[in-house]
Amino acid sequence: MESSVDFEKLVRNKYRGLLRAVESRGGDKEDLALIRKAYKVAADAHKDVRRKSGEPYITHPLDVALIVTKEIGLGPQSIAAALLHDVVEDSDYTKEDLEHMFGPSIAYMVEGLTKIQGIFDHQSSSMQVENFRKLLLSISDDVRVILVKMADRLHNMRTLDGMPYHKQLKIASETLYIFAPLAHRMGLYHIKSEFEDLGLKYTEPETYDELERKLDEAEEDDAIYLERFSQSIESLLESEGLDFEVKRRNKGIFSIRRKMLNQGVTFEEVYDKYAIRIILDTNAKREKADIWRAYSVITAVFRPNPRRLRDWITAPKANGYESLHITVMGPEGHWIEVQIRSQRMDEEAEKGYAAHWRYKEDNSGNAALDEWVSRIREAIENQGDSAVEFVDQFKLQLFNEEVFAFTPQGKMLTLPKHATALDFAFEIHTDLGMSTLGAKVNGKLVPLSYEIQSGDQVQILTSEAQRPQPDWENWVVTPKAKSKIRQYLRDHQRDTQDRGKRLLQRALKKAKSELNQSTTQKMLNFFSLRNPKELYERFGSGQFGTEHLRSFIQEESGGFYQYLRRRFRPKGANLKEISEASRRIVFGPDQVILEHSMATCCHPIQGDQIFGFVEENGIQVHRTDCRHAVHLQGRFAEKVILARWASGQEGQGFNATLRFSGMDTSGLIMKVTSLISNELSIDIRSLHIDSHDGVFHGTIAVHVTDRSQLSNLANLLKGIKGIDRVEREFSKG
């Protein structure tokens, strides 16, 4: 009973805390009424339901709503959707009920959250790619859906201790794979860092525990030093008359580990484990000037590392992040990162794109957000055949560092690091990219594969006759450029193949033939091609013409074996120069000698029944009782040719293996070797016998002249006392 009372108090405190948070952000009576109504419906839907921890389930939607309010900073509609996000899935309430009670906007968000939850309930890790794509689709419809989902996932990660290990691993892996990159791209740096740290905690607990312990110890050791450095910074800024607040930020455990791995350094060698953040209280007109004033004052006393300057004031990140990061040499020879930003910038850095929403949620975002959402739609619409590749490319864009470059007119474009001049062209407009002939960077001609550097001014040169080339795929990194180039090349290839197929159909019709499966296969054999598409493409592109087709028709009229004779005739002026191995077997009704090789799956020897099979690289000879014979002769009959051993040819011998077994007797090995070496004069290549509990199994590899000699050997082995079974061994291939 006491526990029940405690839970009631817990729920009541969380609910009151949510209402206070809404009021503190300027919520009016109408907003509070909406929150109360949403809470009442959620509490009714989840009554008598408990979480794994034993807490009433309603604590989860309340905590998600608190994250949405306080840590992401969304408005009342999103808070209501957070409270209601599990209602449709877990109760009898429908989307129509919610639309009637709360209007279409909130009902739509809840429906989107329900759909997302459904795809993540799937147990297979192979669903991750499709999950990612569906998440992106939800973003392109209403970004608030994914922001509420972020809050839901963050609360799940914070309460993961009560879950079984396999579920912890699945949820944590999914968080690192999908949610951390998205949080990064949306500017939710605090949440991204927590996703990463908690993800590491459950995927690599020992690594996490060790680094957490080391970080706590280091922070304890450095606390006095950092306090002294912070006071020095404060004194400098106060002397300049600036209004500010100083905060200290620890680098995330995941981030420290990534730096250790990437740079091959130890924990002790990671020098920017802490950062001092200076938040200036200044108006929008003066914020940049005041930030550079603060920079000037600090670097006049503490020497900066020029390679560690990150100016996102002059050129903000694509997600709107603005801040000036410098690394200075503090007292006692320690490097310390200092971040300088205004209160507005800090708010937007903490809340990401959510900070661009007005509290009343009139969907007024910002240009960077609108552009990013439009890119998501475009990337999904142009997704190629490979969903995995699509996700890899998109994740690359989510996490990648950025460069900025200018058009000749001075417009600035932000691109991922390693983007090329060709990426730049596609970024301006697809049509421009498709007709790009060359590029000038800072007035000089450069190849299309030139990597853009921050500050470059890029002029794209075009031609109406220019079209994307296959090499272009290797010269771009942005998903937009890759998808457009691939789409064009696929369409162009398809058109070429269709043209080639029509050409072949007309030409063969004139030659009193037709383009059926049999003719196509013969043409593939004749031209040594892999598939019909390759054949059609050669003719459609002009690589093959009428002379190639005429050659095929002449060869075809002369018979398949004439073609084989031309293609596989042994090299040599006369029969004496032809190798002994090539003369052992003859092919076709004319019994012609052709270059060939023995199949390793059945190792034919003279006297075996055999057939030839035309491979791409030559003719292989198989035994008719080969394990692959039925498959080859049934499915690829047109590639099978007659083959037999040439009469009157004394071969140089064949390698073969016999397998034998029986009851173990003394002197067995001596009897076997004596029989083979002394009585038959056959060379033994290897002999292996395993004996266990009076039963033995053995193999013997020998060099014989033909099948009859091998059969004779097998019969004699069977006559040895103790051997009851002898059989020829196929290769396991």
The residues that are catalytic are 89-90
Determine the Cα–Cα distance for residues 427 and 429; give it in Å rounded to an integer: 6
Place of tokens 């800072």: 442
Long-range pairs, 53-61, Cβ under 8 A, ≥24: 53/159, 53/162, 54/3, 54/7, 55/7, 55/10, 56/7, 56/11, 57/86, 57/90, 58/11, 59/10, 59/11, 59/14, 60/86, 60/155, 60/159, 61/85, 61/86
Q: Give Cα separations from 320 to 184, 340, 354, 405, 413 (angstroms).
A: 12, 16, 11, 16, 13
Residue type, 622: H
The sign of the torsion formed by the CA atoms of 128, 251, 288, 459 equals negative
- Of 330, 332, 288, 328, which is closest to residue 311 (Cα–Cα)? 288
Q: Which two tokens stand for residue 613?
A: 């099979």
Backbone angles phi, psi at 406, to 5 degrees: -120, 145
- Hey, which bits of 553-653 come out as E strands? 585-587, 596-598, 610-615, 618-623, 640-645
Element of type H or E holding 513 = none
- Tokens 């029944």, residue located: 609
Torsion of CA 275, 220, 255, 276, to 10 degrees: -10
- The torsion defined by the Cα of 375, 378, 379 and 384, in degrees rounded to 10, comes to -170
Residue pair 180/154 in contact (Cβ under 8 Å)? The answer is no
Pairing state between β 244-250 and 683-692: unpaired
Q: Reduced to 3 states, what is the DSSP secondary structure of residue 402? A: strand
User: What are the Cα distances from residue 47, in Å, to 14, 44, 91, 207?
Assistant: 16, 5, 10, 40
Decide: residue 102, CB within 10 A, 0-12 exposed, 13-18 middle, 19+ buried.
buried
CB 433 within 8 A of CB 404: no
Pairwise CA distance, residues 555 & 364, whole Å = 72
Q: How far is CA 409 from CA 402, 412, 447, 458, in A?
A: 21, 9, 21, 10
The closest of 631, 624, 622 to 601, measured between CA atoms, is: 622
Which residues have a Cβ under 8 Å from the Cβ of 380 and sit 6 or more positions away? 133, 136, 137, 140
